Amino acid sequence: MKLSGNTILITGGGSGIGRGLAEALHQRENHVIIAGRRTDRLREVAKANPGMAWVELNIEDPASISAVATKLTAEYPKLNVLVNNAGIMNIDDVSSAIDEKLLVSTLTTNLMGPIRMTGALIEHLKRQTEATVINTTSVLGFVPLAITAVYSSTKAAMHSYTMSPSVQAQRHACQGARVSARRGCRPTCLAATTNPGQCHLPSLSRRRCEFSEPMPTRCWWRGPSSCGTTLDPTRPRSLLSSMMRSEQNNEVNMETNKEVVLKVLKGAFIERDATVVDRYFSPDYIQHNPVIPNGPRAIANLIPTLKGLSYEIGMVVAEGDLVMVHGRYVGWGPKPLVAVDIFKVKNGKSR
């Protein structure tokens, strides 16, 4: 999405990440509306940021969501960005009977609320030239924290939910008579069709296709037609197999990235081998620990000082070029520490 010139609704905008996002986007010349239950917090943020608007919203209440959606689409017809940020995190114990109030409240706020809010605004957003829905999730959706099992599960569910509207939104955008290239409509040929006036969208349903941009060359189209292109039957190529190969390649890359990160952690924290720095750290490595400077030299200088440190690797998760490792440190501080280290890997180097 572009970072200026938007009209943005941020739920949970009265504090924390929501307030941080609201103020940062407000400074970039966006029209920001913050929403939440605590009106005193909302007023405080709006007062500190002249021009920012606010609206009371109970994300647990479907009626409140519907009313706010109706109000905002009427008052802000250019609303084109929704940030589902509102959420709650409570300590729980799933080794015994879960507290029903905690369970319902967490699921309703963290999962059902964003789904309902998106649903209430989706038709309005689809009418905008450019629109974006952003969902705040958490690394705990990949590496759960046992003492907040319900919260962690809602973030895993939000990650899964976020993947679906992105495909569906593209499919619905393609249903228009003409589709602007700015909407990113790239129809997917999942199977060969003998009718050049139709194409297979990700839903596998046939629809007439009139596009303002050429069909993908990887679908092997040629010559003019009512669609602007015609399928070449002499060179059939299923994009499904191409997509599957791409997915397999991504999985291989993620496994390779995991191996790189594990070599980094074992070499630095277990084997105390400073040569891992030259082998696996990029020259422009950015350190996520605020007390350690950026760059590989800082890591090389740190390794010899870790004589009393014990490190145990737990769960390892990869997503794209990111690798997250759940590990246990003993000796880093006065008490044992459980931490999630996140690495970005490119070309076999940690960045």
HSE, side-chain direction, 13 A CA sphere, residue 333? 6
Nearest to 313 by CA among 323, 324, 327: 327
Residue 25, burial from CB neighbour count under 10 angstroms (0-12, 13-18, 19+): buried
Q: State the Cα–Cα distance between residues 50 and 33, nearest whole angstrom.
A: 12
Sorted by sequence, the CB contacts under 8 Å of residue 343 that are 6+ apart come out as 257, 261, 264, 322, 323, 324, 325, 350, 351
Is 285 one of the annotated active-site residues of the chain? Answer: no
HSE, side-chain direction, 13 A CA sphere, residue 30? 24
**SS3 assignment, position 311:** strand
Catalytic residue among 76, 151, 161, 280: 151
Place of tokens 């924390």: 16
3-state SS, 96-121, equals: CCCCHHHHHHHHHHHHHHHHHHHHHH
Residues annotated catalytic, as ranges = 151
